[in-house]
Amino acid sequence: MGFPAQRPRRLRSTPALRRMVAETEVRPRQLILPMFVREGATDPVPISSMPGVVQHTRDSLRKAATEAVAAGVGGIMLFGVPEHHDATGSGAVDPDGILNVALRDVRAEVGDDAVVMGDLCLDEFTDHGHCGVLDADGRVDNDATLEVYARMGVEQARAGAHMVGPSGMMDGQVGVIREALDEAGFADTGILAYTAKYASAFYGPFREAVNSQLRGDRKTYQQDGANAREALRELALDLDEGADMVMVKPALAYLDVLSRVADVADVPVAAYQISGEYAMIEAAAAQGWLERERTILETLTSIRRAGADVVLTYWASEVAGMIDR
Ligand code: PBG
């Protein structure tokens, strides 16, 4: 009778042993809370497909941001929900546009105690819901969009963003924004580039979160989920253009991409656990089909294990309150 010489179970036998040898940790400082703020709102508006997440008023945003930072959350990513939309998304470059106003509010509230970021994209502001401006044939015009992104980046920096997060997947976006920031005197404002962003069904609930006007899809600019190598090309371009951090999005369905990007990136890597990932777990937990907190922590641990240094998650505040700093 041959007994096993190797017994991996030994290291799993007590909580203390398991804790001692755990390779991966999730820490509040590594979590970024995405938040929505709605122009003109007098009360927070619940997002039905994202139970527990709301479109904030300016006041409730300030309060929730302060609470998140007190819980130890590392950063806040802001999304604006404007009252009015137009063809060029002019609210995005308006210093009094809701996103810029909210950045100012939140920065005034949290100072340098957390990293304040703005989503740099036009889809929340356009009446057609695309991430850029359209040409005469109704196609998303890459280079015309870059000019708007450059102005948007400068306005966000002026409003107090520590970092801007270009998420529109236009070619050259990082370089153009970097140049505009530098020229306007914002050399210290960083860029968290949405580097590998896939055209995903998991964005579904986000459409409700920002009252999206989108008809059609984003497949001419966001990546095809069939492709991983392409993410490495996007990574090389973003690094060359000056990205300070890079992101893979969505997270759970793209952990292989995240892992490959993290293997070669020489900047910190973020992953975005997006609206559909949130909704899926909340819905199953509400049915009693999944243990809610265990599932949330398991997914966050997996995203970290795959190589993310930081994770954007709608559970950031709650999780920060659940775990040790
Ligand atoms: C674009 C943007 C989107 C998300 C973040 N930035 C929507 C999209 O690309 O369709 C999705 C985030 C989420 O689903 O949680 N501004």
The per-residue DSSP string of 49-100 comes to: TSTT-EEE-HHHHHHHHHHHHHTT--EEEEEEE-S--BTT-GGGT-TTSHHH
Q: Which one from 197, 198, 265, 274 is the annotated catalytic residue?
A: 197
Distance of CA 123 to the CA centre of its chain: 14
92 in a structural domain: yes
Atom of ligand 1 nearest to the CA of 197: 9
Burial classification of residue 129, based on how many CB atoms lie within 10 Å of its CB (0-12 exposed, 13-18 middle, 19 or more buried): buried
Distance of CA 18 to the CA centre of its chain: 31
10 in a structural domain: no
Give the pLDDT of residue 47: 98
Give the pLDDT of residue 213: 83
Q: From first to last of its 325 residues, what are the pLDDT tens digits of the chain?
A: 799 999 999 999 999 999 999 999 999 999 999 999 999 999 999 999 999 999 999 999 999 999 999 999 999 999 999 999 999 999 999 999 999 999 999 999 999 999 999 999 999 999 999 999 999 999 999 999 999 999 999 999 999 999 999 999 999 999 999 999 999 999 999 999 999 999 999 999 999 999 998 988 999 999 999 999 999 999 999 999 999 999 999 999 999 999 999 999 999 999 999 999 999 999 999 999 999 999 999 999 999 999 999 999 999 999 999 987 7
Atom of ligand 1 nearest to the CA of 204: 14
- How far is Cα 65 from Cα 73, in angstroms, rounded to an integer? 9
192 in a structural domain: yes
Q: Is 275 part of any known ligand binding site?
A: yes
Range of the domain at 100: 25-322
DSSP 215: -
Q: Which one from 249, 258, 310, 318 is the annotated catalytic residue?
A: 249
Domain of 133, CATH number, reads 3.20.20.70
Q: Is 314 part of any known ligand binding site?
A: yes
Q: Which two tokens stand for residue 201?
A: 């069904």
Q: Whose CA is nearest to atom 16 of ligand 1?
A: 121
Pocket test for ligand 1, best of 130, 167, 299, 313 (most atoms within 8 A of CB): 167
63 is an active site residue: no
Give the pLDDT of residue 324: 77
Give the pLDDT of residue 325: 73
57 in a structural domain: yes
Q: Is 203 part of any known ligand binding site?
A: no
Strands (E), 236-324: 245-249, 269-273, 310-313
Give the pLDDT of residue 215: 84
Contact 267, 244 (CB under 8 A): yes
Q: How many CB atoms lie within 10 A of CB 60?
A: 18
**What's the N-to-C CA distance of the chain in angstroms?**
48
Give the pLDDT of residue 1: 78
Q: Which residues line ligand 1 (CB under 6 A)?
A: 119, 121, 123, 131, 167, 203, 206, 218, 274-275
Burial classification of residue 205, based on how many CB atoms lie within 10 Å of its CB (0-12 exposed, 13-18 middle, 19 or more buried): buried
Q: Is 149 part of any known ligand binding site?
A: no
Q: Domain tally for the chain? A: 1
Q: How many CA within 13 A on the CB side of residue 308?
A: 31
pTM higher than the cut 0.90: yes
288 in a structural domain: yes
Give the pLDDT of residue 251: 98
204 in a structural domain: yes
- How far is Cα 130 from Cα 108, in angstroms, rounded to an integer? 31
Q: What share of the chain is helix, strand, coil (3-state, %, to 5)?
A: 45, 20, 40
Give the pLDDT of residue 109: 98
284 in a structural domain: yes
Residue 120 C-alpha to ligand 1 middle, in angstroms?
11
- How far is Cα 40 from Cα 42, in angstroms, rounded to an integer? 6
Nearest Cα residue to 77 out of 277, 272, 268: 272
Pocket test for ligand 1, best of 33, 124, 203, 214 (most atoms within 8 A of CB): 203
197 is an active site residue: yes
244 in a structural domain: yes
Q: Are strands 75-81 and 31-38 parallel, antiparallel or unpaired?
A: parallel
